Amino acid sequence: MNTNDFISSGVLESFVLGTATQEEIKLVNELCRKHPEVLQEIEAIEQSLMIYAAAEVPELSGLVKEKLFSQLPKNNSKIATSENKIHQLKSENYFRYYKIAVAASMALLLMSSAFNIYFYNKLQKTTSELEALNTEKQYYADQFNVQQTSLKNAQNDLAELSNPEIKIIKLNSIGIDAGKPVSALIYWNATTHKTYINSIQLPAPPEGKQYQLWALVDGKPVDAGVFDVLPDSVSLQKMKDITGAQTFAVTIEVKGGSPTPTLSEMCLLGNI
């Protein structure tokens, strides 16, 4: 048996998901002992499923913290002083005591203003810090909710793939260079209508183009969504739900997809 054909047959995926028959399990164990590449493919599929679950908890990206402290306003208040003509005092002692009293008053006024400015600035800084902490707290709360939702969705998808009712359909190349191994696997549940694609061996589409999955339902093509070729060796992506499919096919369309398939650009096809 050609190991490359066996790897592309979908049996290894069934083996990893626990849906393989006893005969398939026995065959896989025998091939693992004889062909290390089969064991490596099993490990790659297991890692891919783990990556898919973690990827739904989008990776989080580096957190940029910006200082939210605004420039504290400078106190522009000035202590108004008035210049009054002082009439000549008859007593030099009285004049000296008057100057001392004015100096003391000015000193107290300056000290009071300095304390007011200091505590005002402290209040402004504390307020800014509190606003920054509240903003950061809200950010982390939002991120936690997003991750919880993504993790729940990933767990549901993986549970769906382990469903015994899941069907694995291999799509074979019909329009791509036959010298290169090109194929894809469809995981489809006819009861829940959930559909996934594993673009095992697909080259990157031309610039400005994108792969689009179609299902043939009652003789009419139904859009199952566009998908990308991911860098992982086994790339699993969730597609649109499909009801009553008889055939699945992949075409190369303009980026974003097309409302109808371009038959001349069909590259993969597989019957259920």
What confidence tier does 150 reach under pLDDT thresholds 50, 70, 90?
low
Q: Are residues 213 and 127 in the same domain?
A: no
**Is residue 116 a part of any domain in this protein?**
yes
Residues counted in the chain: 272
155 lies in some domain: yes
pLDDT digits (tens, 9 = 90+) for 30-65: 888 888 888 888 888 878 777 765 665 444 445 444
- Specify whether 178 is located in the same domain as 239: yes
Question: Where does a domain end: 161, 193, 216?
Answer: 161
The number of domains in the chain is 3
Which structural domain range is residue 258 located in?
166-271
Domain check: are 105 and 137 in the same one?
Answer: yes
Q: Do 40 and 103 have their domain in common?
A: no
Per-residue confidence band for 92, with pLDDT thresholds at 50, 70 and 90: very low
> Does 180 reside within a domain?
yes
**Residues 66 and 13 grouped into a single domain:** no
Does residue 85 belong to any structural domain of this protein? no
Percent of the chain residues topping a pLDDT of 70 = 69
- For residue 251, is pLDDT > 80? yes
Q: Are residues 69 and 129 in the same domain?
A: yes
Do the domain assignments include residue 84?
A: no
Using CA atoms, how far apart are residues 58 and 60, in angstroms rounded to an integer? 6
- Of 108, 127, 161, the residue that ends a domain is 161
For 25-75, the three-class secondary structure string (H helix, E strand, C coil) is HHHHHHHHHHCHHHHHHHHHHHHHHHHHHHHCCCCCCCCCCCCCCCCCCCC
